[in-house]
């Protein structure tokens, strides 16, 4: 009897800790404070239909003539405002640009909870929206994703051949690995973490391994530029290496930016030119038919 009481108490404590962990990964509210017009960029505020009869809030910056389109995908708990430097530096360079708030973020509709799967669904909804625009080349979509937005871009591309190129910045190879890294710093026992992750997987409808970049990059037809700061303490640089190792030969290249962290890679000299050159190139640079590895010094 005493054993059952102790075991039951441990289970209850474990479940309580697990629900606390799940709650901690809920999306924080982030509101908009600026628009592209504050940077002198003309834009159209748009509402985009997505899954579950929800609407996405977005900013559409059209090209002067028919052109490829870039979709900008923010990170966890962020919104399209975080992507203002990308809009400012990529507009007028021969692309249409669409930045959007994923469901449960920014000004987009709430939808019970946010997840990487919903990010990917919203990306596909944005592609459907773009392809109705007169200045958009059909089937010629580029994605630029920050952090979890980068991982969601790879996951979306595994099922959508309209996505031709992807740039990830600070993307995790598996979100569960990064989550566990930060949870362990709080000295939470491994069994509690395991229970919490099973709860999250049940909620989103897939295992983390199924949606990981490592399991999906080789399924895509897209070429991928993986940008990652070597001093990233949120998503360790080793995560970028794992994505590269999982890609098909010649499919991906990694740009390791020395000393940069999770949110400041775009301050690197030559950052914007590197992205533009990659998006306009017909094929990526490869070494000995393998994926290439480049360091910024």
Q: How confident is the model at residue 22 (pLDDT cuts 50, 70, 90)?
A: very low
265 near 227, Cβ under 8 Å? yes
Position 9 in a domain: no
pLDDT of residue 245: 97
Position 26 in a domain: no
The sign of the CA dihedral 31, 91, 271, 289 is positive
Position 5 in a domain: no
DSSP state of 110: P
Position 234 in a domain: yes
Distance between CA atoms of residues 4 and 146, nearest Å: 47
Q: How confident is the model at residue 182 (pLDDT cuts 50, 70, 90)?
A: confident
Residue whose structure tokens are 């990526």: 284
| Strands of the 54-61 sheet, one edge to the other | 44-50, 54-61, 96-100, 67-73, 136-146, 163-169, 223-229, 252-257, 292-296
Domain count, the chain: 1
pLDDT of residue 178: 85
Give the pairing type, strands 54-61 and 44-50: antiparallel
- Cβ neighbours, 10 Å, residue 34: 9
Distance between CA atoms of residues 208 and 174, nearest Å: 7
Position 112 in a domain: yes
Position 218 in a domain: yes
**pLDDT > 80? residue 28:** no
- 104: closest CA among 25, 179, 43? 25
Position 28 in a domain: no
Residue whose structure tokens are 């075991």: 7
Residue-range definition of the domain harbouring residue 281: 41-175+208-296
**pLDDT > 70? residue 185:** yes
Question: Three-state SS for 136?
Answer: strand
CATH no. for residue 148?
A: 3.40.50.1820
The sign of the CA dihedral 194, 196, 197, 203 is positive
In sequence order, what DSSP letters do the residues of 78-118 get, joined into one string? --GGGGHHHHHHHTTSS-EEEEEPPTTSTTSPP-SS--HHH
80 near 59, Cβ under 8 Å? yes
Position 1 in a domain: no
Tokens at residue 273, please? 């030119």
Strands (E), the chain: 44-50, 54-61, 67-73, 96-100, 136-146, 163-169, 223-229, 252-257, 292-296
**Residues 194-251: tens digit of each pLDDT:** 888 888 888 888 899 899 999 999 999 999 999 999 999 999 999 999 999 999 999 9
Residue whose structure tokens are 């900008």: 72
pTM of the model: 0.85
């Amino acid at each position: 009897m005493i054993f059952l009481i102790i075991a039951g108490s441990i289970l209850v404590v474990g479940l309580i800790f697990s629900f606390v962990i799940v709650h901690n990964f809920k999306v924080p509210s982030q509101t908009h404070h600026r628009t592209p017009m504050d940077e002198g960029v003309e834009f159209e505020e748009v509402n985009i239909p997505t899954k579950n009869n929800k609407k996405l809030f977005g900013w559409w910056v059209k090209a002067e003539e028919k052109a490829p389109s870039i979709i900008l995908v923010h990170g966890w708990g962020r919104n399209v405002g975080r992507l203002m430097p990308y809009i400012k530096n990529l507009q007028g360079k021969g692309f249409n640009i669409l930045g959007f708030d994923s469901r449960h973020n920014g000004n987009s509709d709430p939808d019970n909870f946010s997840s990487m799967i919903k990010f990917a669904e919203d990306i596909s909804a944005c592609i459907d929206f773009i392809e109705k625009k007169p200045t958009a080349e059909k089937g010629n979509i580029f994605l630029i994703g920050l952090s979890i937005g980068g991982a969601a871009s790879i996951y979306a591309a595994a099922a959508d051949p309209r996505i031709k190129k992807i740039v990830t910045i600070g993307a995790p190879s598996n979100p569960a690995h990064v989550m566990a890294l930060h949870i362990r710093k709080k000295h939470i026992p491994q069994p509690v973490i395991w229970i919490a992750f099973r709860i999250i997987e049940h909620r989103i409808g897939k295992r983390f391994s199924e949606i990981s970049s490592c399991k999906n990059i080789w399924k895509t037809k897209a070429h991928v530029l993986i940008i990652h700061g070597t001093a990233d303490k949120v998503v360790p640089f080793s995560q970028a290496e794992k994505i590269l190792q999982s890609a098909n030969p010649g499919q991906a290249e990694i740009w390791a930016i020395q000393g940069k962290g999770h949110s400041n890679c775009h301050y690197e000299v030559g950052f914007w030119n590197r992205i533009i050159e990659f998006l306009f190139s017909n094929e990526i640079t490869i070494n000995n038919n393998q994926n290439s590895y480049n360091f910024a010094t």
